[in-house]
Amino acid sequence: MSTTRRICSVVSRDFNLSFGNCIMGFDRNTLLQYNKNSSSSKLIQESSYFHGLLNGSFSESGLDHISIEWNPENFLNLLKCMYGCSMDVTSTSFLNLFEAALFFGVEKLLSKCQNWLSVLSSSKDPASPRLELFDLIHIWSFGLEHAGEFLTDLCVAYLAKNFMMVKSDKYFGNVPYELLMCCIKHPYLTVHSEMHLVDALLVWLDADRRMSESSQDNIINLMEQVRFSLLPLSFIAGRSKSHGFSKFADQSVELVFKLMKMSSTYLVDSLRDGSPADLRVRLSEYSERLDLSGCPQVNEAILLLSLLPNSYFANPMWRKSLKSFVRNRDDDERNEESQRSLPVLSFETVNEVDISKCQRLDYKVAIKCFSKSFPSLRKLRAAYLLNIKVSTILKLLQIFRQLTEVDLTVDITPTISCQASVVYSSPYLAQTPIPFDSFQGQSSLSNITRLTLEGRSDINDMDLRSISILCNSLCYLNIKGCALLSDACIAYVIQSCTNLHSLIVCYTSFSENSILALCASISMTNEPLDSNSLASNLQMLHMSKCDGANETWLLNLIARTQKMKSLCLRDTKVSDSVLCEFPGSSLQALDISNTTISRMALTRVITNNPDLKSLKARGCKNLLQLHVDGRSDNFFSGQDLFNCLGKGSRLEELEIGWGFSYFSLEPLRPAVSFLRAISVGLGASLGEDALKLLPSACPLLESVVLYFQEISDSALTSIVTSLKHLKELALSYCYGDISLQSFKFSMPSLRKLRLERVTRWMTNDDLFVLTQSCPNLTELSLIGCIHLNSDAQPIISAGWPGMISLHLEECGQITENGVASLYGCVALEDLLLCHNGSGIQKSFLLDAALKFPMLRLVSLDVCDAKEGDFDVEEKEGRFLSIVKISRCKSRRCAMGRDLAPVLKETLVMFWNGQNFTETVLKQRL
């Protein structure tokens, strides 16, 4: 007999207890007799209710029979607690148990419930039980009415500590205003950034139509808790039209620009007495991640203010010590003395920091602060920062012994990936090499397992060798676009880091030596490698555009990659004979775009890898042919490739061209029901029937990209109205009957839109309709919209103030009167303006760097220059890294009439943080 049943049996017998659905009956005489004969009665000793009942304290004490309406299951749990049996409190049972404990006066259960909630609200263990938001709301409401402050305080503390987790809960909109306000003000409030707090508040405000006039005071009160000066610029601009935030957006943008113009010293001088809360990033003892990405206003002063305790600001001399540290940041000796006077806090739980695009942050100061305040730091992302030098990287790796992941991605110079002829190129400036011998013989100083150096064209062979010596634990290395690295250096790193299983070397010199290193059975340190070679343990290899790897070397490599999960051979010399030697069976992603691979070879790989989730094969003309290199295989017919793919697992991404049609899509239906991205290019012929089939066959699609396809209004309407998760739509050089009617439907989820040579008819009015249909665009590309004029600029700025990437080419006369009206898109990072009217000022590049503080990429055409040229300033520290200026030459026909100009050359200027280069190409990029 179970313990619960035994207790119930004893209590029922001794007290003449009878159960109904929700009613329990007690015989008073039996209770009195039991009280006389049993001095150790748990029921009477543990429950003040029964104690009072027997002592005559209650009005019911004189009755012969007492009935109590209570849930029998909850009462039995109450009995289990009183009799010392094991009983778990859960999110669902807490309130029932607590209410029962209150009613029957069982202090043991009250204490157990209180302790459970107290531990839950303060625990730092990620494996601790979770209190569901639905239950928390009810517990808080019950505590507010019946249980005093301790219960409500614990609920507020739990909500504050777990804010990042609960803000995405479906019941978040049901959180009472008072509870939400208390949570925001609580010292436990834990958010990755101020942006996440605002996003949560906007979700809460939108729930149940809280935007009525009667709640305006609540909206203002909530928004006043936000630290507007610490929001990412792109976030502010993107949410400037959101209900509840629009009134504060202009104020926030103004604050950000104001802070960007202030030096750290001046900022400290401008502060008043007391803690400058509005400039302090939220950090609590439960913070695990700090996200400052996209905040160009953040400098070392703001960082320091966030890491100091509140008590520090009680001293009237606090500005002096803080200014001393900021002023002497380049003087190591005086800096150390100043730093010792700063009681910087330590946040033991912070394991991840993102400072991407924080170009005004001094990294010497940041590293010192992080090393002291975040001793458990594991992941650091510092992408798109040009002033992080190799010496900084090495110092970072030496200081943070716990660090396992570092991401230092920057933009890849466009001249690496282009196919154009180079007319002229200025050489990279010589760099001072880092002493290599100083690292020789040292044991591993770093636990780094993932290192991303994508686009770092400032890193040379000696730099990477020095880094690899410190990071011989590397498992993942991304050196995509690192143009200065030689094949010999890459080979050295491969053999030094014997744990490598993921390698991204696109657009590098990766070739013979590197392949030999991967295939070698003995490392450079004469240590035997597991499973004979590194190649046999590779799980990821991306080597797009590595032209130096010929067919023989590729065959030698691919034949050894039996554990490969992600393989990218785009734009390489891979052939059928190479791919057919691939021995793996666990491939999940394959990219063979723009190669000579045939249908026969691809089908064999797909057959042997049923778990394939991503296939990219655009530009593979041989997928149409049955005979390749003089060989044929009668076993493979036109549809075998897609029949085979349809029998595999769930595809999530597909890029295809030659040989793809409606008849190919039909057999794929079993495999594409979970497809999230599809790109159909040149050589494919889907047709209207296939395009109309897409929404039903692939209901989860988030990205649809179509090149050179015939498309109609009805097919496009089916796509935009049926695909509720659509985030990207691209129509490039498509033909067919497309009109504005297809774009009148609401597409609130759409973030990226490319309409290239497909909407020639578009007018300013049509563009305005587009801003209403797609209000949340962050990337827009329009080519060939010849009816647009300069009035389109304010439409774009007002409709999409959060635009990050804007490409306008051959769009009428948009820039005929300059570009001043585009300055409303304050968060632009990528801007292309070509052949849109010759009204752009000569000083545009200098002005744009000030008006668009996040701008990194600019493409212009001299045809659009009002004065025939553009001023260019070579300035160290500027965030703008890539400038492309195209130049055209005029043509005349035999009759002497002017023809459309043709491209003459493109000047590419590239700043990598240390060196400035100029390259002249014979084509537009």
Confidence band for 431, pLDDT divided at 50, 70 and 90: very low
Q: Please state which of the ranges 49-63, 463-477, 677-691 shows the lowest mean pLDDT.
A: 49-63
Highest mean pLDDT among 131-145, 454-468, 642-656, 787-801: 787-801
pLDDT at 9 over 70: no
pLDDT at 715 over 60: yes
Helix residue ranges, H only, 230-331: 233-238, 246-260, 264-270, 300-307, 318-327
pLDDT at 770 over 50: yes
Task: Count Cβ atoms below 10 Å from residue 768 Cβ, excluding itself.
Answer: 16
C-alpha distance from residue 584 to each of 234, 515, 531, 562 (Å): 43, 18, 15, 4
In this structure, what token pair is assigned to residue 303? Answer: 């960082």
Question: Regarding predicted confidence, which is higher, 15 or 533?
Answer: 533
Domain assignments of the chain as residue spans, ordered by start: 1-127, 564-625+637-719
Question: Regarding predicted confidence, which is higher, 51 or 143?
Answer: 143
Q: 290-331: per-residue pLDDT in tens? A: 999 999 999 999 999 999 998 888 888 888 888 877 776 665
Q: 462-498: per-residue pLDDT in tens? A: 999 999 888 889 999 999 999 899 999 999 999 999 9
Beta bridge partners of 891: 899
The predicted pLDDT at position 2 comes to 55
The predicted pLDDT at position 791 comes to 96
Question: Regarding predicted confidence, which is higher, 769 or 126?
Answer: 769
**CATH topology of 1-127 equal to that of 564-625+637-719?**
no
3-state secondary structure 4-19: HHHHHHHHHHHHCCEE
Q: State the Rg of the chain over Cα.
A: 34
pLDDT at 923 over 90: no
In this structure, what token pair is assigned to residue 354? Answer: 């993102």
Q: 366-424: per-residue pLDDT in tens? A: 888 898 999 999 999 999 998 888 878 888 888 888 899 999 999 998 887 666 566 65
pLDDT at 910 over 50: yes
Percent of the chain exceeding pLDDT 90 equals 53
pLDDT at 654 over 90: yes
In this structure, what token pair is assigned to residue 439? Answer: 């690292």
The predicted pLDDT at position 134 comes to 93
Mean pLDDT of all residues in the chain?
84
The predicted pLDDT at position 364 comes to 81
The predicted pLDDT at position 27 comes to 52
The helix/strand/coil state of 720 is: helix
Q: Please state which of the ranges 418-432, 739-753, 848-862 shows the lowest mean pLDDT.
A: 418-432
Backbone angles phi, psi at 361, to 5 degrees: -80, 125
What is the pTM assigned to this prediction? 0.89
Confidence band for 903, pLDDT divided at 50, 70 and 90: confident
pLDDT at 658 over 50: yes
Helices (H) and strands (E) in the chain, counts: 35, 29
Question: Regarding predicted confidence, which is higher, 215 or 683?
Answer: 683
Are 826 and 801 contacting, i.e. CB atoms less than 8 angstroms apart? yes
C-alpha distance from residue 576 to each of 423, 546, 567, 581, 788 (Å): 35, 18, 15, 9, 48
Percent of the chain exceeding pLDDT 70 equals 82
Asked if CATH classification 3.30.710.10 holds for the domain at 1-127, the reply, yes or no, is: yes
Q: Cα–Cα distance between 678 and 701 in angstroms, integer?
A: 8
User: Quick one: which of 219, 221, 276 has its CA closest to 242?
Assistant: 219
Q: What superfamily would CATH give domain 564-625+637-719?
A: Ribonuclease Inhibitor (3.80.10.10)
Question: Regarding predicted confidence, which is higher, 401 or 142?
Answer: 142
Confidence band for 456, pLDDT divided at 50, 70 and 90: very high
Q: 433-449: per-residue pLDDT in tens? A: 444 444 444 444 678 99
pLDDT at 18 over 80: no
Considering only the C-alpha atoms of the chain, give the largest distance between any 2 of them, rounded to a whole number of Å: 125
User: Quick one: which of 509, 483, 328 has its CA closest to 416?
Assistant: 483
Q: 888-897: per-residue pLDDT in tens? A: 876 655 565 6
pLDDT at 877 over 50: no
Question: Regarding predicted confidence, which is higher, 398 or 160?
Answer: 160
Burial of 523 (0-12, 13-18, 19+ CB in 10 A): middle
pLDDT at 29 over 70: no
Q: 508-538: per-residue pLDDT in tens? A: 999 999 999 999 864 444 444 445 689 999 9
Highest mean pLDDT among 623-627, 648-652, 734-738: 734-738
